[in-house]
Amino acid sequence: MLPIYVVNNFGQFNHLILRMLRDLSIDAKMIPNSTPPDQVAGACRGLVLGGGPTMDRAGNCSDYLHLGIPVLGICLGLHIIASSFGGVVRPGKFGGYGAVRVEVCDHDEILAGYPDLINVWASHADEVSVMPPGFVRLASSDICANEAIALPEKHIYGLQWHPEVSHTEQGSLAYENFNAITLRTTG
């Protein structure tokens, strides 16, 4: 079975994503975001686009979105997804990392099993201010309307928060759900 690739976008939590996947007994490997798309296609069953400091350092991530495999974007990964599909990312009003109470408004595949309200850990230095066409809102909060979005028919999902940190309630569930999606859609 092919692994899930964690794309390193130079964020401080990318290694925690890899660790969480491995702790869940999910075969995973970290790759640099400079990896050519032709080396990613056919080599993995899904991609987690990790967080990072800036869109300017997103490497080939936009190209990975068109490989036909499931993608889960975390923080900067969400912003890459939104920008690549015609959404708008702007500086947030509340800046740095902190606790956020998120309302799950669509318990789709990636948020299956979550309660309607969850406490998460997120940065809102930047956020999706306008969803891309064709995407659906999965979660929102008092400070950010688009905490989670999806393009379900392409199995592309994005979360503003970091499921891999201990401050996020039931964080591992997002990665377990993503693993199930990759197994169902690619295998």
Active site residues: 75, 162, 164
Per-residue 3-state assignment (H helix, E strand, C coil) for the chain? CCCEEEEECCCCCHHHHHHHHHHCCCCEEEEECCCCHHHHCCCCCEEEECCCCCHHHCCCHHHHCCCCCCEEEECHHHHHHHHHCCCEEEEEEEEEEEEEEEEECCCCCCCCCCCCEEEEEEEEEEEEEECCCCCEEEEEECCCCCCEEEEHHHCEEEECECCCCCCCCCHHHHHHHHHHHHHHHHC
Separation between Cα atoms, residue 131 and residue 133, nearest integer Å: 6
